[in-house]
Structure formats: C-alpha cells, structure tokens
Structure 1
C-alpha cells in the first residue's frame, strides 16, 4: 500500500493515517508540491497524509465515503517536519516564488563608520559649534510655545467664566419663576428700572391689582410699599387709568374718599405723587 509523499514522513494507511491524493487542478497541485518541498511531478498514486493539514482545512460535519475526514475544496497542506523554508508556505491564492539572492556589495572603506566618527584635523571646532547650535532651541519655537501657553490659559479662564455665567443664569431663571407667582410681567420689567427714571407701562391687570392693594392697606401703606421698591403705579396713574370716572365736588381729599371705599374719585393735585411712572405722559394720552 502507498504511503505519504512528504519528506521525512512514513505514515500510511497501515499506521491508521488517512491519505489524500494530490488535486487535479494544476494551480492547487502546484501549491501542494511547493509546500511539501519536493521537486517532483505527482502521479495519480501520490498522496499526503492527514498530519500535514491544519484542523481548519477539514470539513466540520461532512465525511468521506469511507467514513474518514473530508478536506475542504480549497484545502492547502502547511504542516511539515523540517526547518524553516527558504520562502513562506503558500496559503493564499497566489503562487510565491523563491526570492533571488541579492548580489554582494563591494565594501566602501571610505564610508566606514570609524571614518565618519573621526573628523579631519582642524575640523573639530566646526563640529563642536554645529553641535552647540543644534542643541540650542529655536527662538521662533519658544515664542510659539509661549503664545500657545497663553492661549490655553485664556481658554481656561473663558471656560471658567462660562460655567459661572451658566450658574448665574440658572439662579436668575429660578428667581424669575418665583416672581411670576405674585407679580405680572410688567411689574417684573419695572424692577429693572431705576426709581427716579421709571418709564413703566402698566397693564390693566396690574392697575386693578394696585387698586385692591391700596384699598386694603390704605394710602400710607400703599406709599410705603412703593418706597420699599414694590413695583406699583402711583396714585395719579390709578386715577388716570380708571375706566369709569365719577367726578364729585367736595372738600374731602382723595385719600379720604379712597378710605370710604365708595368708588368716588376727586381731582387729585397732591404734590407727593409727582415722582416716577411717567404720569404726565399717561395723563396727556388720556386727554387726547
């Protein structure tokens, strides 16, 4: 019975090894021959045993007709018991040819390392100066490095300021939401105006609310709230913005009529309400 055709291999079917014939495809057969390191032309009786194939070259489930292992259609033998080959085993679809030996190069004694390390007489100082110049850092590089450090520091400061502004904006949003619970939008806008230069435009809801507050706390309490900075229109603005006006002639002051709660208004010429709220402009608007 035939045995394995690989060098230094005496396996055969009598030793319990499975043999595989060389493929008929000439390209694939050439790969088998190159990997087996034999310069011969395989015959129909030439075989390679299973020890020269990696486990990945066998089918996982399929079996041969005799019940043994079955090679994959593109299986290539790569396991052989000899030293490193002069060229790698063929595992790709390309045929690798042996590398050609490079021609020997003539030695150039003038380019020897000792000659390069040994300067000529009188050139020692020049080499030392060049080495010192090479070791000195570039002035432009130092300037660019310093500018880069300054830019990085400036960027870090801007990032820190941006974080602080985010926190402050978050607190202001929380404060605004809290003010919206008991103040209207026009009252919130009036908080940003200075006391002596207010040019607030009051909404009808704020006028009605201010009238209720004045009726509840009285004249002195209302003026005290305004002095504390509570955003409320002046009494003159309330007089000018009332939709229904009943003018009566009486010796009673505006404050006394307001305390009666009768809804009667008298012409108010009190000099105490001349500050703020753009009263003169609103009065001209009502008259026009």
Structure 2
C-alpha cells in the first residue's frame, strides 16, 4: 500500500506546487514534501509529530544517536528536540517524498484513557524518536486523511475521527508507550515537556538542572536521567543547541550580526559563541551569514517540519 500512499502525495504536490518543496495542506498539522536531490544536513527543532516517507530516505542525528527511516516507514516523535536532519536518498526519477503530521494531544489523551488497561502502555517512556513500519491499518488512515485535502469542506467533520484512528494505531504499536506517556499527567515526558517549554521561552537566561527539575516536579537526579533518556542529551546541552539554533535563525533570516546574536541568545563571550557555533554547524557564524546573503535558497530547508525558530 506504500505505492498507493506515494501516488496520493505525488498527485497533491503536482496539483499544488508542481515541483520540489513543501505544501502545508488545509488539514490541520499536515505538511507534504518532495525533493529531487539529497540535501546537506540541516539543524532544526522537531516537535511531537509523525513523519512518514513514501519514497527515498532521511537520516536524523540527535546528540550522538542516528536514526534513519525510508520508504514505507514512519518516525514517531514524542518530545520536542533539536535534530540534524538530512535527506540521504533522492533522485530526479525517484524524489524523496513524504509528509509530517502534528500529533493531537487532546485526541490521543481521549483514546489512551480508553486503552489504559493495556499493559504495554504502562512504565517509563524510552527515547523520544521511534521508527515504525507503515502497516495496512495506518496506511489506510493516512490515505483517508490525504483525501481530505481535496475535500476541505469535510475536514471539520471527518478530521477528528481519522485522527482518532491514527492515535489508536500509534498507541497499540511499538511507539505506544511513548505516545501514551506524552499526554498522561503522571507521565515523565509530559512533565519534562513543561521544562522544555520553559527552556524554549527563556533559553537566553542562565538556568540550572535543579531549577529545571523543579519545573518538571522531579528531583534533579531523576529529571536528568529521564531527560537524557528521552532526548539523548543533557538539559544544558539541550539549552546550548536552542541558543545556537536561534542565533543561526537571526543571522540567516534577519541579517543580525554574529556578536549581536551571541549576546541576544545568552552568550557572554562572543569568541566562545563562535567556537561552539562552528562546532555545531561546520562554519563560523560570519561565513554562514555571508552564504545566507549570497544564496538564500540554501537555507530554505530550515523551515522543514518544526522550524528552527525557537519562538
């Protein structure tokens, strides 16, 4: 059924953009994409969603972990996390094709409360990115969701029912525990998400693990352990990536000078900022600003999925 899913996405992209790029559909949270070329690594912020590939393949790096998924597979993201994303398989004849769908927490919570007796939904969540094969049930639900693109008048009525289907298949699948703990009040991911939201809104401020643990209602040691399990990085590493992502966005999209960006995102030392920026992005900030002005299209992929913008 993956070929049917690929054909459906291709038809929509041909009708609405006719080339490579992204199409934000009228269906809430559903974005389609296509690329005829492999793309260089891009740093960005992923938010809870399901990403599925119908042709080609993509690779993600989260701290020191690499996740790859390709045609007929999905990636379930249940925690907001900085990633390095790269399309690794794409040609003009067989372009990378796929979609992202934001998860609806309210619908998931309603479904999970009805499945609470299922044993696999209990216990701690694991790493917040899980690769699944797209089975016939999930593919059928996604096809029905895509069908709403050409029937926007039906979205308000049919979208909630289809999202309940998708939530159900996610919850009974390999990522079920992560999806459930993401929305349950006692789940560690939901509490850590509160700390991440605070970090996102205040990334420029000094903060300690103890302060963040308090936002999550956990002891510092428990918070640090669960945070690293979910995101594969420490809280302070996470904050540094948020700062550097926002600094990059300011420089390449707003033309802000490196020194100003460094101070704005919380660095006291511009030289330290430059070193850490070059280590993360592969080029010093001044050179990236010059490249962005010379070739704005090079940075278009920063808008993929969840934008690299922090706010």
TM class by smaller structure: under 0.3
TM-score normalised per structure 1: 0.19
Query: Which structure has the bigger radius of gyration?
Result: 1
Identify the structure with the greater helix proportion.
2
Structure number with higher strand proportion:
2
Q: RCO higher in 1 or 2 (8 Å CA, sep ≥ 6)?
A: 2
